[in-house]
Amino acid sequence: MSLMRLLPIMWKFLRDGILWGLVWGLVFIAPDMVHTHYMVGTHAEAMKVVAVMSLVFAALGAGIGFGLFVLAAIYRRLASDASLSRVATPSLATAVLIPGIYVAVGAGIYFWKFRTIGGAGWYQRAALLAIAVTIAGALAAAVFLWLTKSKTRSERERILTIAACSIAVVVAVVFVMRFPSPGRRGQTAHALERIASGEREKRKLIVIAIDGGTWHVISPLMAKGRLPTFASIIRNGVHGDVKALWPPYWSIAAWGAITTGHPREDVGVFGDIQVRIPGLPAFQSPMDLEPRLLNITTIEYLLASRRMIRAEVPDRRSLKVPPVWEMLDRSGIETAVVRFNFSYPATGQAKIVVSNLALADVWGLLGVDVPDKSGLVEPASRRDELLAEFSREKKADSADLAKVFPLGKWPKPEDATLNPVGGLRGALHFDFATFTTASHLLETDPEIEVLFVHIGGVDTIEHMFWQYRFPGEFKHKPAEKDVAALGEVMDRYMEFIDSGIAKMIGSFSATPNVLIVSDHGQAAREDGVPFKGWHASPGIFLAAGPDIAPRAGLLGVSYYDIVPTILDLKGLRKPAELRGQSLLRDARTCCQQ
């Protein structure tokens, strides 16, 4: 068949692919996108969102329609069989097959990227979803053919086209009208009432965030005497479990609750990655393995990695309520922050701020940009001084690297998606830089009353080395040679963290109060991609110091208790809207035996 006779048939497949891609996208995918991306905006912004989504769905549908045309051409030998043009029914076939093909393409993309189907559970959900929708579509097509048995083929196609257009218009209008509207606007901190004034309130305080800190790793090491700083804090103070909220326990949403004392609905941060596209409201891109959204999130990832859209870690501008260090700063307490989430842009947050974006950490893999130096440090006059250790030219301290991983090099294990040794070097670099910079701040500015420090490398190490430290927790165990070479890395890394915490505490002129908290714990994940160690509950809490009475037993700790405890230690009245209570005096955190 000539090209001129092929083009009209190809156009039918493309046209129907666009129409039914639009219908299925708006009906089947768009509501999930709004929900999982936490999109909010005005009606005008909602119209722009619908327009962009429609373009994406139409493009995906056109691709699927063209694929169906190619398959039809091959199957029917279209190039030599002119009769096919009389029997082809692209509209019905496209309407029925698009959902199943969409899910299958998502599974294929994932397999291509990670060389795994993502685990039996994920594959089963995706396959069942595709089969169920395809069967439902086939039944609907059969009913349609029966109801229109007196119609010609062209009349049936016209009815289907009108139906698709009508559904798309109605769904788009309803979508715009029911689009979630913005909630509360961002708030700034104000001075809090001082309720006590004495030696306790003058005492220095260090708040240490250990991303991914877990008793599963810490407790056995303390029993062996390998973590003396952790053991001393527990012996002379209190400790407990932090119940992780909101599976799969994304870190930044948790830190938003911990640092503000508010639930994520009030904070306005729900995930780890935020996307900004000019003209659209900012939204958060999920990293879950959701079959219906896998193609969409893959497109987002590809656009972000090529810097065509801006992916970023949620920052201070994302918070609708102020972080605790701003409360302290506005209340006249000299405060410093080193690499805590939401510390960018640094200006106006506290006396001294070294932003969490001083290094991109693992976010660079997802196309997240590190901004220029403007806004990374407060005061700006100390920018070069306080960013020196975070320079990309700096490498992990060779002595620390030798202690944590004496072998120095190791080929990427077959069971690993990313080379864990590369992750180890990066984690050591930014955690060493964090310890060094925090200690430097305390030595050069002894007037600092409260220091906030975030340690991010523990989470990275647990993600990458969990299966080698705990091979017995996996049905499919890693190679013995990898366990022998890499199994001790996590334990040695925690020894490095223990000594770094001791260094910071020792940099105070007098013994400070110490508060350590994690956002979640860690556990084995058999189908984990790209990591075999994954976020779990609970996290850890430790506190000790001159004003923290020792208490035996394990405390039950909420995200919302951290801010009230910090305010209590500094003699400030807790704002009425905070739901948590100080762990120094709240009866409900009684010991769990």
- SS (HEC) of 139-175: HHHHHHHHHCCCCCHHHHHHHHHHHHHHHHHHHHHHH
Whether residue 408 contacts residue 303, with contact meaning beta carbons closer than 8 Å, is answered with: no
List per-residue pLDDT tens for the chain, 593 residues long.
566 667 877 888 888 889 988 988 898 888 888 888 888 888 888 899 999 999 989 998 898 888 888 877 776 664 555 544 444 456 777 778 787 777 777 777 766 765 555 544 555 666 677 778 778 878 888 888 888 888 887 888 888 889 889 989 999 999 898 888 876 667 778 888 888 666 666 789 999 999 999 999 999 999 999 999 999 999 999 999 999 999 889 999 999 999 999 999 999 998 888 888 877 888 887 766 666 677 787 777 777 777 777 778 888 988 999 999 999 999 999 999 999 999 999 999 999 999 998 765 555 555 555 556 678 999 999 999 999 898 877 766 678 888 999 988 899 998 887 889 988 998 999 899 999 999 999 999 999 999 999 999 999 999 999 999 999 999 889 999 999 999 999 999 999 999 999 999 999 999 999 999 999 999 998 766 678 899 999 999 999 999 999 998 899 999 999 999 999 999 999 999 999 999 986 433 433 33
Other C-beta atoms closer than 10 Å to the C-beta of 43 total 10
Place of tokens 């209008």: 173
E strand residue ranges, 219-366: 238-242, 274-276, 283-284, 310-312, 335-338, 352-354
- Classify 28 in phi/psi space as left (phi over 0), alpha (psi -120 to 50) or beta: alpha
User: What angle, 0 to 180 degrees and rounded to 10, lies between the N-to-C axes of helices 215-223 and 228-236?
Assistant: 90
Kindly give, in sequence order, each residue whose CB lies less than 8 Å from that of residue 331, ignoring residues fewer than 6 positions away. 191, 192, 194, 570, 572
The SS3 assignment for 194 reads: strand
Whether residue 133 contacts residue 102, with contact meaning beta carbons closer than 8 Å, is answered with: no
Whether residue 500 contacts residue 227, with contact meaning beta carbons closer than 8 Å, is answered with: no
Kindly give, in sequence order, each residue whose CB lies less than 8 Å from that of residue 365, ignoring residues fewer than 6 positions away. none
Closest CA to 237 of 590, 540, 564, 514: 514
Kindly give, in sequence order, each residue whose CB lies less than 8 Å from that of residue 240, ignoring residues fewer than 6 positions away. 540, 541, 554, 555, 556, 557, 583, 589
Name the pTM for this structure. 0.85
- Of all helices (H) and strands (E), which one includes residue 127? helix 120-147
Place of tokens 């289907």: 160
**Rounded Cα gap, residues 343 and 356, in angstroms:** 6
**Rounded Cα gap, residues 11 and 16, in angstroms:** 8
